[in-house]
């Protein structure tokens, strides 16, 4: 079992959460560099494993390989909606974060788990698939795309319930996933989500026809994260 420090950040501005992850990643990268350049000094220095969950105020984020054309509104319109915008260094294209959505940021050194980014992404997807499965929602993977989808085998009906995008440097990960629980899906109308034009988005609320208990969903997610990653979460205040 790998010990992982867990913290629920509550409602936090996107840039603040990003800065925090970058800082933790830098600390880990510095330790790895020191292990090579000055192994005696690095003795006893451990790279921390972290999992953060949070919710963001309305924000659109664009991945490093994304196209700005997938943002369909101008700055003035965004301001009127109360939405901010960030260009990020994660993979993937454009997505939306906002109230009613669970965002999870695992800041992990995969050398403590498995040095395989594909395995990492599939494992995150599996955590979400098992989480929504407990609510009677059948999630699946869509070939050629990341995230978790509903009716993935039916091109006319496939819709995304969880978006994913990560950055990995020397096996340390930042960014993560966003699961739509009780999310206002109207905000997705102003972007081309993940750059995919022929697929929709959905939420647990939309699939079930009723709002879900967000605290319970988060607890279910944490349980399956521990299972899939062989991790023991330690509450960190």
Locate the DSSP E strands across 57-199.
59-62, 84-87, 94-97, 101-107, 139-140, 148-150, 159-169, 172-180
194 assigned to active site: yes
Catalytic one of 54, 162, 168, 194: 194
CA distances from 6 to 27, 107, 150, 186 (A): 17, 10, 29, 31
Q: What mean pLDDT comes out for the span 102-120?
A: 97
With a pLDDT cut of 70, the percent of the chain lying above it is 99
CB atoms within 10 A of CB 194: 23
pLDDT at 237 exceeding the cut of 70: no
Centre a 10 Å sphere on the Cβ of residue 34 and count the other Cβ atoms it contains: 15
**Mind listing the pLDDT tens digit for each residue in 60-95?**
999 998 999 999 999 999 999 999 999 999 998 999
Look at the block and give the residue holding tokens 């990003």. 18
**138-170 per-position pLDDT tens digit:** 999 998 889 999 999 998 899 999 999 999 999
What's the mean pLDDT in 106-124? 97
- The pTM (predicted TM-score) of the whole model is 0.96
pLDDT number for residue 23: 98
């Amino acid at each position: 079992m790998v010990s992982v420090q867990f913290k629920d950040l509550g409602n936090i501005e996107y840039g603040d959460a990003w800065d925090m992850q970058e800082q933790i990643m830098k600390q880990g990268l510095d330790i790895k560099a020191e292990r090579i350049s000055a192994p005696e000094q690095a003795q006893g220095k451990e790279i921390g494993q972290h999992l953060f969950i949070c919710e963001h105020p309305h924000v659109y984020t664009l991945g490093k390989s994304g196209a700005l054309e997938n943002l369909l509104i101008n700055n003035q319109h965004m301001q009127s909606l109360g939405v901010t915008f960030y260009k990020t260094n994660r993979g993937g294209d454009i997505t939306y974060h906002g109230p009613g959505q669970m965002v999870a940021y695992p800041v992990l050194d995969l050398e403590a788990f498995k040095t395989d980014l594909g395995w990492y992404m599939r494992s995150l997807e599996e955590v979400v698939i098992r989480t929504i499965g407990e609510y009677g929602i059948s999630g699946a993977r869509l070939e050629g795309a990341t995230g978790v989808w509903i009716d993935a085998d039916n091109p006319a009906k496939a819709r995304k319930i969880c978006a994913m995008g990560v950055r990995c440097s020397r096996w340390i990960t930042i960014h993560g996933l966003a699961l739509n629980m009780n999310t206002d899906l109207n905000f997705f109308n102003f972007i081309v989500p993940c750059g995919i034009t022929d697929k929709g988005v959905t939420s647990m609320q939309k699939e079930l026809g009723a709002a879900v208990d967000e605290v319970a969903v988060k607890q279910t997610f944490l349980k399956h994260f521990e299972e899939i990653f062989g991790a023991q979460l330690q509450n960190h205040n």
